[in-house]
Amino acid sequence: MLPDRLLLQTKTAPVFSAKIKHYGRVHQDLIRDKFRKEDKERGPPAMQRYKSRKEFEKELADMRQKFLELQQCRFEYQNVQKRYEQLLQSTPDAMVFVDRQARIVLTNAQLASLFGYTEEELAGRELESLIPERYRGGHREKVKQYFEHPQVRPMGTNLTIYGLRKDGSEFPADISLSPLETEGDIVAVGAVRDITERKKTEDERHRIMEKLADAEKLSALGRIAANVADEIRNPLTTVGGFARRLAKIADSEKEREYAEYIISEVTKLEVILHDVLAYSRTRSPLLEAQPLAGILDQAVTTLQERCRLQAVEVRTVYEHDAVVRVDKEQLREAVERIISNALDAMPSGGMLSVLADREILEGVPYVRVRIQDTGRGIPAEKIGKVFEPFFTPGGVRKGTGLGLPIAKNIVEEEGGMIRLESSETEGTTVTLLFPDIRKA
């Protein structure tokens, strides 16, 4: 309920205020008539005030009239109070009234619900109790400054303001301030809105804009890299060819060793060139319904010998009826690159698991492929960069840094999704999701 002193003093209810003042005068007259004493004695009490029965009845009628006016005044007071209460509770915003001491005078149900309190719990409470502790420093001084220069304005321009709920959770808020004048003083009125969803949308928009900017840069870089790769591929092939010839005709073991070293480095460069061209190449996938198990088996078989040499145990578990609409060769390449990346993390042995099953995501059925390794995982601060070209997390993982970005491009071009989870102590899982065409 709105405090009487606010209703009486606010300039927005002059009619109501006048009625209440009238009620006060009537009440004072009644008391004065009842308790007035004369200095002179006038005989028996009944004769002190009334000279006749007629005068007494007239006085009684006047008192009845005043009582009716009092009742009417009380009725109007209750109506105005009810209208203010309805107005306060019907506003869509959460409202809080605060005095100069930064103490809560009044709230509506929306604010109480937003912060997880009842209106009774909030009445008289320090405003700071609704603010996260890290923002409380200097808050009282800011309240003081507002009351010195009260005006309608947003709170915390260009800043993100957070509210603190009763359960300790926080939420971003948009707060508008306005002064409410009372007789001889003011209170500050705050309209509070939870902008969690709006902030999520803004953050997502900002993230997308950043990714678009990065994509434009990477696209330009990819075109440059592809042009450079084309320019140096032929000379590199020539160098490699002559190095192999020199290795065959070398006169000494030292010369043969040098030639083999050149061959090794040329091979590394050829792998890099191949990956750069693969990353920058525009693909036109031929999408057809394909049994997933066959594609996965081919990819695992291709790298089976490397697994044996690294003492990596391979485990495959498939739902053999899973069918996906993909380009068979391109998806096989993507899976091979992911497996190769996993083997890079297990140079001294481990477990490689290739699993295929189904997952329901937001009510939509997907075929899910998980490729798991037990090698050294990726640090948490670097996980967000694993799909960036030329990024390598360091440690035991190696390569050009293009394997996962190429795999991501292939999967997404074929209508799938890719995600990565990693723990430095438990290894890494790369998950591919494709629409389950059996349920389409």
How far is the C-alpha of 163 from the C-alpha of 170, rounded, in Å?
A: 6
- Segment 301-337, tens digit of pLDDT: 999 999 999 999 999 999 878 899 999 999 999 999 9
89, 106, 136 — which closes off a domain? Answer: 89
Same domain for 177 and 207?
no
Between CA 104 and CA 112, with CA 110 as vertex, the angle to 5 degrees is 45
CA nearest to 27, candidates 67, 55, 65, 60:
67
Same domain for 210 and 184?
no
152, 176, 194 — which closes off a domain? Answer: 194
- Segment 271-280, tens digit of pLDDT: 888 887 777 7
- Residue 218: pLDDT band by 50, 70, 90 thresholds? low
Provide the pLDDT for residue 293: 93
Provide the pLDDT for residue 22: 45
Q: What are the Cα distances from residue 222, in Å, to 231, 279, 391, 409?
A: 14, 7, 14, 13
- Residue 203: pLDDT band by 50, 70, 90 thresholds? confident
How far is the C-alpha of 79 from the C-alpha of 66, rounded, in Å?
A: 20
Is the residue at 174 inside a domain?
Answer: yes
CB 410 within 8 A of CB 320: no
How far is the C-alpha of 397 from the C-alpha of 401, rounded, in Å?
A: 10
How far is the C-alpha of 111 from the C-alpha of 365, rounded, in Å?
A: 40
Is the residue at 257 inside a domain?
Answer: yes
177, 194, 211 — which closes off a domain? Answer: 194
Same domain for 272 and 316?
no
CB 181 within 8 A of CB 11: yes
Same domain for 430 and 321?
yes
CB 274 within 8 A of CB 300: no
Same domain for 187 and 215?
no
Is the residue at 440 inside a domain?
Answer: no
- Segment 357-410, tens digit of pLDDT: 998 887 889 999 999 999 988 888 888 888 887 777 765 446 678 889 889 989
Task: Find residue 431's DSSP bridge partners.
Answer: 370, 419
Provide the pLDDT for residue 306: 94
- Segment 10-48, tens digit of pLDDT: 433 443 444 444 444 544 454 445 444 443 444 444 445
Task: Find residue 316's DSSP bridge partners.
Answer: 354
Task: Report the number of distinct structural domains present in the chain.
Answer: 4
- Segment 116-132, tens digit of pLDDT: 999 999 989 999 999 99
Which residues form the domain of 126? 94-194
When pLDDT is averaged across residues 141-157 and rounded to a whole number, the result is: 86
What's the predicted TM-score (pTM) here? 0.51
Tell me the CATH number at 404: 3.30.565.10
